[in-house]
Structure 1
């Protein structure tokens, strides 16, 4: 099922194509009808998001098509699109592409990968989770890593699960500063993994396609392919990390048992 925001934007563009053209607006009237300042409307024209008006002498007259397109632009801006992305989307529509197919591809590749639940608390409450560990340097490092965002006296941690894991590590005896340092190194590693996976997909899946002249069917097929590959990326990283942890933990356990056996031999005791 297509998501409602994508369908809404596609429907609005479709409406723009069939809008009544009997009524015409001067620029101030069009801006008022669209609920935007005149300067914003002029800026859209400069960015080629809006076709030029019909001219009667020195007066520019805009149609219902212009108003419908302004509403489409507003809808897409609310969904997080950049103006450049909107310009390209409108261009694809003008060239005959099914906008729903274009929006479906956009949604597949840009929807958030994270399913984490943020948690908000006061700075005092955060400090209570890590007694004696939360100083200005630690807060600054956590902000730089993207773990927390501060708004006044409120702190929002991006992930309840990661916060709980950090609390468990610190309570087990790992200094908070060490956890943050390790987190920075981990982020560098996962950035490299993401780069590797994206490069692989771009080279072997997207690269062979003529992306300047994709038919709507090809857009839909590409969307389906990327949607199927997405879980695979997460599983590959999760499973690979789990195997690596198993090997590494086993090495450390064997080393600990080896030291215990050596100690018992030196004291003449039998290991339990």
Structure 2
């Protein structure tokens, strides 16, 4: 394991490039966790330094201290990776993405708010891993960011994602019933062959459904 450094208040402030007064202010606002106490001495470590650098990066990206405090609260109350993925999770095609809080802000700019972060945590798109945030799927992260760039508010993307999740669960149930009813042998091995077939059916049907809707409804002026 990498060695963890400890710092007195003055040393931490110097490493972070801030004043001791600013550090005290951040601590009073609960933007950083309490230090370890040894008698009258407060000891800070690399986790505190990482948090201070995150605060500086978020401030540079236009976030306010109130917004950063709300983000920190949502972040710290989020579920960790083990809770979201499960310790015995099944193999998946999805690639998790490890992000710093400022890295997440780079994806969504001013829409990386505490409310949206809390919604994504509740949906299970995001989880925590120490000082990092983990998005469960690179594809979903990239698509969500692309929709935001197209002008769709992130809150609307997350709200729609919840509805998509419900329909996806229903489709998964349908295909699993089909698999269990009409195939023999271990389910795991059969699913390896069945998964790409099910995905192709859903992709084709969704593509045709979009075409039908576009033909039925005139475009907006």
Shorter chain as denominator, the TM-score bin is 0.5 to 0.7
- 1:118 corresponds, among 96, 99, 103, to 96
State the 1:126 CA deviation: 0.9
Corresponding position of 2:22: none
Which residue in 2 is equivalent to 1:173? 151
Per the TM alignment, residue 142 of structure 1 is displaced from its structure 2 partner at its CA by: 0.6
Hey, what's the Cα distance between the residues in 2 that align with 1:232 and 1:125?
Answer: 35
**What does residue 209 of structure 1 align with?**
none
The offset of 1:240, in angstroms, is 1.2
Spell out, residue by residue over 1:28-70, the C-alpha distance to the aligned partner (whole angstroms, 9 max, x if none).
Answer: xxxxxxxxxxxxxxxxxxxxxxxxxxxxxxxxxxxxxxxxxxx
Where does the alignment leave 5 or more consecutive residues of structure 1 unmatched? 1-79, 82-109, 207-218, 261-272
SS in structure 2 of the partner of residue 129 of structure 1: helix
Q: 1:246 aligns with which of 178, 194, 211?
A: 211
Alignment partners' CA distance in 2, 1:202 and 1:248 = 33
Find the aligned partners of 1:161 and 1:129 in 2 and give their Cα distance. 13
Following superposition, the deviation at residue 131 of structure 1 comes to: 2.2
Distance change >3 Å, CA 226–CA 128, structure 1 → 2: closer
Q: Does 1:191 align with 2:169?
A: yes
Q: How many residues align?
A: 135
Which residue matches 1:65?
none
Look at both structures and tell me which one has the larger radius of gyration over its CA atoms.
1
> Equivalent residue of 2:112, what SS?
coil
Give the Cα separation in 2 of the matches to 1:178 and 1:162: 14
CA distance in 1, matches of 2:190, 2:133: 39
In the superposition, relative to structure 1, how do residues 152 and 197 fare at CA in structure 2: closer, same or farther (>3 Å)?
same
Shift of 1:159: 1.8
Structure 2, unaligned stretches of length 5 or more?
1-86
Question: How large is the Cα RMSD of the aligned pairs?
Answer: 2.6
Query: Aligned-pair distance for 1:231?
Result: 2.5
Match of 1:231 among 177, 196, 216: 196
Query: 2:108: which partner in 1?
Result: 130
CA pair 160-223 structure 1, distance change in 2 beyond 3 A: closer
- The superposition leaves residues 158-206 of structure 1 with CA deviations (integer Å, 9 ceiling, x where unpaired) of 2222211111111111110000000000000000001111122223335
Give the 3-state SS of the residue equivalent to 2:134 in structure 1. strand
Partner Cα distance (1:152, 1:181) in 2: 27
Correspondent of 2:182 among 180, 187, 204: 204
What SS does structure 2 have at the residue aligned with 1:155?
Answer: strand
